[in-house]
Chains A and B, each alone.
Chain A
Amino acid sequence: MEFKTVVFYFLAAILVLAALRVITARNPVHAVLFLVLAFFNAGGIWMLLGAEFLAITLVMVYVGAVMVLFLFVVMMLDIDFARLRDGFWSYFPVGALIGVLLAFEMILVLGSTRFGFEAFPVADPAADFSNTRELGLVLYTEYVYPFELASLVLLVAMIGAVSLTLRKRRASKYVQPSAQVAVHREGRVELVKMAAEKDEPTAAEAAAATDNPASAPGATAKN
């Protein structure tokens, strides 16, 4: 057996085991760590195929950024994982059916003459072939238009996320002078005409009632 084949089976075995542990691990933090391991091994397999740019991107982007974010989320959110697992067996038939369907479709696609392995022979590049360089050349020449547009799509996402979630926190309660000045009597007090239910009050009671006008504190002025 060739050395490359040995390495492939070694990486693939760890990848499959790690992927299995992702869904079976009881502790969510362990599951995330196993996912990191799975990504790392997948990167190794890509490296074997000669796709070093993809491999490094996978490790940098997924292991370095996305998975760390996952870890943060898992640790910071208080999710009851026991409850999440509760419905496992009731969802199992549907999940299994979808899984079998997916596998069937993949076999169908890979087995067809159009997308089969023989339709895409493995390229045998020269030793100093750098696919990072080739990707870069295409990305900044032929594909420069969609590449620049993609950056604007990211800008949309950024503006959208900020405008939907950013709320100014009020550190201090303050009064807006302009709102205070703009207040009208009608905005604060509504005089309602009602039929008298009691007899006319005495003079002293009437004086006490006028000392207590129905005005709210200045900060709650209606705009």
Chain B
Amino acid sequence: MNFVVPETGQYLSPAAGEIFVALAVLVIMLATVFARRAARGLAYFLTQLTLLVTALITISTLDSNTHFTFSDMFVSDPLSGLLKLVVVFAVMVALLYGRGYLADRKLDRPEYYLLVLLMTLGMMVMITANHMLVLYVGLEMMSLALYVLIAFDRDSVRSTEAGMKYFVLGALASGLLLYGMSMVYGATGSLDLTIIANKTSAFAIDSPSTDRTVLLFGIVFIVAGIAFKFGVVPFHMWVPDVYQGAPTAVTLLIATAPKLAAFAMAVRLLVWGLPHLAFHWQSMLMFVAAASIILGNLAALVQHDLKRMLAYSGISHMGFVLLGLLSGFAHDGVVFNEPIYSHRWFSLAFSGALFYAISYVLMSLAAFGMIVLLSRAGFEAVRIDDFKGLNRRSPWFAAMMMFVMFSMAGIPFFVGFFAKFIVLQAVLEAGHLWLAVVAIVMSVIGAFYYLRIVKLMYFDEPVDASPLRAPAELRVMLSVNGLAVAVLGIAPQALLTLCEHAFRASSLYR
């Protein structure tokens, strides 16, 4: 039980990225105190630098082996490497988009960047957690920072109300999750996900025991907690209000990287920790996913606020991610043993879900980036009508927005199409025909509200004809982002192979 301080540093090296971010937070905090005048710019540049170095550290420590450290509480595998990289890049892009927006509204205080870094650290901890306690601590670190960021515009009633709402509901969800974890602990006697997975393999599908009842109750609460963090039905109530109330720069942050952290949490808890009870959480996720896809698409039809519309569309997209997650195990309750982890089907479903989550992050960044692009000091381009006639004002960015909308609608040869295609393929292979039918029908209905924006941009007269006045860095990055949505749609194979490799190589068993 001794904590060995390693002489060669090999035990701490898998966690180098996390340790670096934690130290950088402290350094930036002190640096901005002493910088006074230049603190705003300094905090921004140091934060971007930290994220860049973290990405480099993650790349340099990436290999196809699985490493454990900190008494097996920390796991570093290809999956965590890929997720961490995407999270860090998403946060970097979101910060870059939001910089001018925050400066216009005098919100670019140094604390903003500190909280963003701590949120990133929380997500990295969640991604690399192999222990329920660590996962929970990471979740709380991310959530607490997000609550504050949402309410960061403290003179705005909407912003503070959204922060308060998210805080109260988030605390409830954390309580549910913790309660579920405590039940799983009660039944298995361990918080270590590897040990839980090994112990629950004994609970065959029809062994009548109290432990199984306790475990099932635990799974119900854990699924509820995960569903809240994903923002899926029936735990979706906060999503539209928070997206709308938060400053758009913060909405950019909420709608992107935390979805990947939620994905990591679902994979670690359900797929890694409780694979032998897959039958039970699958049926829960089935309901959640179908309800999210139906409600998200129907509610988005009637929205006039673009942020609310994207929030509802996000709910349905998260439903698709869950569709991928639930298709990885056979639905007839067969409990799989070790070989399934190298099975093609397993990797198709989970890597499909991961591919969907990553492409959603990409599309979501671009869509909210467009809102930032059209906004200026004292004006928020959040109404759908603000996009009217965008083609006349800037044909290039109208095309970028069109790419993103087509991609979100799942129109062929954009990245969103392939994401939907792979997930639905996995769903069909798993034998859930009705789920695939529901998903396809609702996607067709959902295409209406995406295409409406394209119609407004190209065929309507502009309401507001002022030229776009965004900084060059925002224009360049947004163009890259929009083009990535198109290019990844033409050539999705590289990213897909990466996702598949991440799941194949990240084996559960040591």
Contacts and interface: CB of A to CB of B under 8 A. Distances in A.
A25 interface: no
Contacts, number: 83
A157 B118 CA distance: 11
Contacts of B138: 149
Nearest to A148: B22
B220 interface: no
Q: Is the contact region of chain A dominated by helix, strand, or loop, or is it mixed?
A: helix
A42 B3 CA distance: 34
Interface string A103-146: 00000000011110000000000000000000001101111111
Residue among B1, B148, B152 with most chain A CB within 10 A: B148
Interface string B404-420: 00000000000000000
Contact of B111 (A115, A137, A153, A162): A162
A112 B210 contact: yes
A155 interface: yes
B114 interface: yes
Nearest to A140: B3
Contact of B214 (A114, A153, A156): A114
Interface residues of A, number: 26
B71 A114 contact: no
Interface stretch (B45-53, B91-99, B129-137, B231-239): B129-137
A115 B217 CA distance: 14
Contacts of B148: 156, 159-160, 163-164
Nearest to B148: A160
Contact of B74 (A114, A138, A145, A163): A145
B141 A149 contact: yes
Given A153-B137, A159-B111, A145 B71 contact: yes
A98 interface: no
Contacts of B114: 159
A55 to B, nearest CB: 23
Contacts of B211: 114
Interface string B175-213: 000000000001100000000000000000000001100
B382 interface: no
B176 to A, nearest CB: 15
Given A114-B211, A163-B109, A156 B70 contact: no
B186 A145 contact: no
A17 interface: no
A150 interface: yes
Interface string B133-156: 110011011001101100110100
Nearest to A162: B111
B400 interface: no
A156 B141 contact: yes
Contacts of B29: 159
Interface in B366-388: none
A114 B210 contact: yes
Contacts of A163: 109, 111-112, 115, 148, 152
B24 to A, nearest CB: 12
Nearest to B70: A145
Contacts of A145: 15, 70-71, 73-74, 134
Nearest to B73: A145
Interface in B100-133: 109, 111-112, 114-115, 118, 121-122, 125, 131, 133
B10 interface: no
Contacts of A144: 3, 70
A106 B211 CA distance: 17
B114 to A, nearest CB: 6
A155 to B, nearest CB: 7
Contact of B141 (A114, A137, A153, A164): A153
B65 interface: no
A138 B360 CA distance: 41
A130 B131 CA distance: 27
B131 A146 contact: yes
Contact of A142 (B71, B137, B140, B186): B71
Contacts of B147: 160
A137 B71 CA distance: 14
A152 B144 contact: no
Contact of A146 (B73, B109, B112, B154): B73
Given A156-B118, A162-B111, A163-B112, 15 more contacts: A112-B210, A114-B214, A115-B186, A141-B1, A142-B1, A143-B73, A144-B70, A145-B134, A146-B134, A152-B141, A153-B144, A156-B144, A159-B29, A159-B115, A160-B115
15 contacts: A113-B210, A141-B2, A141-B3, A143-B71, A145-B70, A146-B131, A150-B137, A152-B22, A153-B137, A153-B144, A155-B25, A155-B118, A156-B115, A156-B144, A164-B151
The 10 closest A-B pairs by CB, nearest first: A160-B148, A163-B111, A145-B70, A141-B3, A114-B210, A142-B71, A149-B137, A156-B144, A156-B118, A153-B141
Interface of A: 112-115, 137-138, 140-146, 148-150, 152-153, 155-157, 159-160, 162-164
